[in-house]
Structure 1
Amino acid sequence: MRISLRLSGATLIAALSLLPARAAAFERIQAPAPKAEMMENCPGLVASRSPRVVPAAFKLAQLASDQVRITYIGHSTFLIESPRIVRIATDYNDYVRPPVTPDIATMNHAHSSHYTDSPDPKIPHVLRGWASEFGKPVRHDITVKDVRVRNVPTNIRDYGGGTERHGNSIFVFEIANMCIAHLGHLHHTLNQQQMNEIGRIDAVMVPVDGSYTLDIDGMIEVIEGLKAPLIIPMHYFSVYTLNRFLERMREKFDIETSETPSVVISKTTLPARPKVLVLPGR
C-alpha cells in the first residue's frame, strides 16, 4: 500500500523547533462527576448494517443529521463540521489554519504549532487547553447548536525537561450521537480517572511521531484503552515516521489510506473492526 502525504513547509519548520524528550509523569486531579448525558451521548459503537467509512471531497452539500465531516488540514489541525454547520478547528495556530473561520477553536500549550496568542477575532469560541494560572487545570464544557465540547487536562514536558502540570487538554467533541477525541500534544499514558472522564470514543485523532509526544508503545496503550473504532493519525513529520507507527498498528488494526483529506462518518458507518485511517494533510 502506497502512502501519499503532503506536508506543509510551515509544519516542517515547526517540527524543527521541538526537542525530543521522555514522557513525564502525571498526577491525579479532582475531576467533576461525570454527567449522566455524557454516558448517554457516548454509548460506543452501534452498527445497523455493514459498516464503512465514506471518503468525502473537501466541499460537500449539507451533512445528514447523523453525519460529521473531518478534514485534516495538517500537523495537528483538523476541521470538524457538524450537521448544523458548526465548524471546529483543533490545535489552531499561526502556521496551519483551515480555509474557513471556525466557530470553535481549540488549542494546546505544548508548542507554538499548537496554539496562537493572536486568534482570529471573528472566532466566537476560543478554548485554550491550559489555564491562565500556571499549573492549574482548565475546564471547558460548552454547547453550540448541535455540538458539545469538553476537555480532559493532561500534563506536558516543559522546555527544561520538567513537567508542566495540566498544560495540555484532550478535547472531546460530541456531535451526531458520536464522541470524537483529539489527544493534542499528549506526553503520557492515561490513568483510570482520565479514561473515565473521556468516556466511550467513536473516533480519535492521535499524534504518532513517537518522540516529541508519547512514544509508540505508550500511544498504542492509549489507543487500545480508548477502544475507538476509528483512529486518525496526526503529528507526523515524514513518511518514515508515519510508516513506523502503521507497521506497529498493523498487527492488531486494519489500515486504510484515503486519497482525499476529508472523511464523512456516522454511527452506522464506523468500521466493525478498529481501523487506522490515514488522511493526507493539505
Structure 2
Amino acid sequence: MKIRHPEKENKPINPIKKKPEWIRSKLSNSKEFFLTKTIVNNNNLVTVCQEANCPNITECWSKRHATFMIMGDTCTRACAFCDVKTGVPGKLDQLEPVKIAEAVKKLDLRHVVITSVDRDDLEDGGSNHFYEVINQTRKTNPNTTVEVLTPDFLRKGDAYKKVLEAKPDVFNHNIETVPSLYLKVRPGSRYFASLELLKNAKLHDQNIFTKSGIMLGLGETRDEILQVMDDLRTADVDFLTIGQYLQPSTKHYPLDRYYDPKEFDDLGTIAKAKGFLLVSSSPLTRSSYHADEDFAKLKANRINSH
C-alpha cells in the first residue's frame, strides 16, 4: 500500500522568490498596445515578447515595438532558464519573410529585432531562413535598421556566415551566464563556442556591430561577471546588455537572488569603462529592450563626432 504524505504533495520544485518593488510589470489598455497585438496576431507571427513572457511587453508594445521570433514557437533545446516551449518544431513557413517585412512596415519600425528558437534539426540551424527574413525586411523597409539575435549554430560549421551575408546592422548572440553555470543553465550550449561565434562574426565583417547579454541572479559571483565582460571584449563585442533573471516557474532554474538597481548601475559603469560602445544595465533590461533608442543614439553620436 502506497503511503501518502500530504505535506509533500504539490510542493514546488523551486519556489519562486517574491519580486522586489523595483520589478513590476504594468497592464495596458492603450490603443497602440492593442494595435501591435492585432498586427502580430493577424499575420500569425510569433514574438519573443509573448513566448518568453517578457516583463516589458506592455511598455514596448505600447510604443509599437515587437521582437519577432522566427522559425516557430518550439525550441529543440531545453535551457533551464527559458520559458519558450521545447519539442519537435514544425516545418519552416516559407512566407514568413514576407509576413515579417509587412508587419515591420505596418508598425512603422525604425529598428527591428529578429530572433529565433534553436533549430538543431535543420542542417544549417536556420541561417538561410534568417538570411531571407533580413533581405525581405530590408527590401520592404529600406530605412529600417535590422538587429538579429541568433542561436549559437553549434556544430553547424560556417552556417552563421549566411546570416552575416545579409548584413544585419547588429549581430547579437547572448552569452546568458558565466562558464561555471553552463552545464546546469544551458546544457545544450557551450560557453566558448558562443564566444567564438561572436569573435568570428566580427572578423567576418567589421562593419556589423556585435552584441551580447548576460542574466544576473543565477548564482554567479561578481568576479565571474567581470570575467565574462573581459571575455566579450576580447571577442571584440560592441554592445552589452545586463538584466535580472526572473524565474518563469517552479520547474525552471532557481533564482539565487535579486540584484538591486544600484548594483546594475555599478556594473554598467564598469562595462563602459571596459570599452563597450553601448551598455544597457538594469533589472528589466532584455536583449531588445530600448534597442531602437540605443542604436539611434549611437548613430547620432557617430555623426556628431565626424
TM-score greater than 0.5 by the shorter chain: no
Give the TM-score normalised by the residue count of structure 2: 0.39
- Name the structure where helix makes up a greater proportion of residues: 2
Q: In terms of Rg, which structure is larger? A: 2
Question: Which of structures 1 and 2 has the larger relative contact order (alpha carbons within 8 angstroms, sep 6+)?
Answer: 1
- Name the structure where strand makes up a greater proportion of residues: 1
